[in-house]
Amino acid sequence: MLKEKYLPLRAFGIRLALLIPLGQVRMLKISLVDGQRQRRLIVEGTLVAPWVSEFAIACEKARAELKGRELIVDLRSLTGIGPEGERVLLQLMKDKTKLQCGVYVRELLRELVRSTQLKALDAADVLNNADSEG
């Protein structure tokens, strides 16, 4: 049986893109793919506490070991984001980290930019930096 979750427009709560079966544990999977020119951090699942801190640590480690490569955080398989996850994503945007995302996360990023005090020029850079999957 599936439990229906809604996408609230408020700045609190968990935003979910998909239905979650009752009793299923929300998990987060973080994969690191190294290439010659880029290092890709692939994030799958729900970005909620307590996994947000693990995600933030993974981003810091990935950034520290770039060795001249570009860091790309792939959020296309992200299905839910809590308030803590929103804060980490906002910090990644402020740090000008390249984000790859689908429509759901791209719209969430737009909402975060609108609800924060980012300068208009920085906001444009952030949203242009968030690649859509098409």
> Could you list the residue range(s) of the whole structural domain that residue 76 is in?
2-132
Best CA proximity match to 72, nearest among 102, 38, 101: 38
What pLDDT is recorded for position 125? Answer: 60
**DSSP letters along 32-46, please?**
EEE-SSEEEEEEEEE
pLDDT of the residue at 109:
86
Q: What are the pLDDT tens digits along the chain (134 aa)? A: 444 444 444 444 444 444 445 555 568 899 999 999 999 999 999 998 888 999 999 999 999 999 899 999 999 999 888 889 999 998 998 888 999 999 888 888 888 888 876 654 455 565 555 665 54
**pLDDT at residue 122 in the model:** 58
For residue 25, what pLDDT is reported?
Answer: 55
Nearest to 114 by CA among 95, 106, 14, 55: 106
Instruction: Give the pLDDT of residue 89.
Output: 93
CATH code at position 61: 3.30.750.24
pLDDT value, residue 41? 95
Which two tokens mark 32?
Answer: 């690191």
The confidence score (pLDDT) of residue 9 equals 41
Cα Rg of the chain (Å, integer):
15
- What's the structural domain count of the chain? 1
Pair of tokens at residue 25: 């544990």
Q: How far apart are CA 124 and CA 56, in angstroms?
A: 23
The H or E element that residue 113 is part of is: helix 103-115
